[in-house]
Amino acid sequence: MKYRKRKRGDDLGVLKLETDNTKAMQLPDLLHCYRVANLVFTLCIKLGIENKVREEMFIAATLHDVGKSMISKDILNKPGKLNSTEWNAIKHHAELGGVIASNMNQNLSIVKSIVHHHENYDGTGYPRQLQGEEIPLGASIIRVCDTYDALRMKRPYKKAFSHEEALNEMKNEKEKYHPKVFNSFISMNFEEVKGVKVGSMNGF
C-alpha cells in the first residue's frame, strides 16, 4: 500500500490510501467502510451467524462501497441536491462494487451482499427492488449498519446525527429493514463494537 498527500483543489481527500481496488476512494468513504465492517461483525455475533459466514460478511462490508471508486468525485462531493442523472450515477456504485469484488475473486455470497446492500425490505431500494427474504441476508445486515453509520457521519449536505438521533431516524422507517436484523441491531451493545468511532479521525 502506498499513499500520497491531497492534490490542491481536492475537496475532501486529506490523504488517499491507494490499493489496486480502492485507489480512487476518499478517506471518509474508506473509514465509513471500516466502521460498517466492525458493526457488521458485532451484529453477526449477536445474530448467531457462524464464524465462516461472519468473516465473509466482514469482507463484504469492508468492500461494500468500493464501487464509489468509479463514480465522479464531483458528484460524490456535491454539497447540494443531486439531479436525477447524478443520482442514477451514484446508484451504480452497488453493482460496480460487485464487479470489483468479483474481479478480486470474492465468492458469490460476498458479491451479492455488495450488489444488494441498498435494497430495502419493503422493495423500495436499488438496484433490483428486491423485497423481504429475496434480499441476501448479508445485504440486509450491511443495509442496517451502513444506514446507521451514514447518519452518524457529517456529510457536505447533512450534519452528523447523535447515536440516539440515528436510531430514532431508523425506527421511523423501520419497514425498510429486515425485522430480525433491525431488532438485533437496535438492542446491540455499541460499546462492544471494536475499532475507530465515527468523528474521531480528523472529524470523519
User: Residues in the site for Fe ion, rule: CB under 5 A?
Assistant: 65
- Minimum distance between the CB of residue 65 and Fe ion, rounded to whole angstroms? 5
- Residues whose CB falls within 8 Å of the CB of residue 43, separated by 6 or more in sequence, listed in order: 141, 144, 145, 181, 184, 185, 188
Among residues 124, 126, 174, the alpha carbon closest in space to that of 148 is found at 174
| 6 or 89: CB nearest Fe ion | 89
Best CA proximity match to 13, nearest among 60, 62, 76, 67: 76
Q: How far is the CB of 25 from Fe ion (least distance, A)?
A: 12
Q: Which CB atom, from 65 or from 149, has the smaller least distance to Fe ion?
A: 65
> How distant, in Å, are the alpha carbons of 6, 39, 102, 133, 193 from that of 188?
37, 10, 31, 22, 9
Nearer to Fe ion, 95 or 122 (CB): 95
Closest distance of CB 48 from Fe ion, Å: 26
Judged by beta carbon, residue 111 or residue 192, the one nearer Fe ion is: 111
Q: Which residue is nearest to Fe ion (CB)?
A: 65
To 10 degrees, what angle do helices 51-62 and 108-115 make? 50
The least distance separating Fe ion from the CB of residue 58, rounded to whole angstroms, comes to 16
Least Å from the CB of residue 191 to Fe ion: 26
Identity of the residue, 56 or 65, whose beta carbon is nearer to Fe ion in the bound complex: 65
Other Cβ atoms less than 10 A from the Cβ of 91: the count is: 16
Least separation, in Å, of the C-beta of 120 and Fe ion?
A: 13
State which residue, 16 or 93, has the beta carbon closest to Fe ion: 93
Q: What angle do CA 19, 23, 29 make, to 5 degrees?
A: 105
Largest CA distance in the chain: 47
Percentage helix, strand, coil for the chain under 3-state DSSP, each rounded to 5: 55, 5, 40
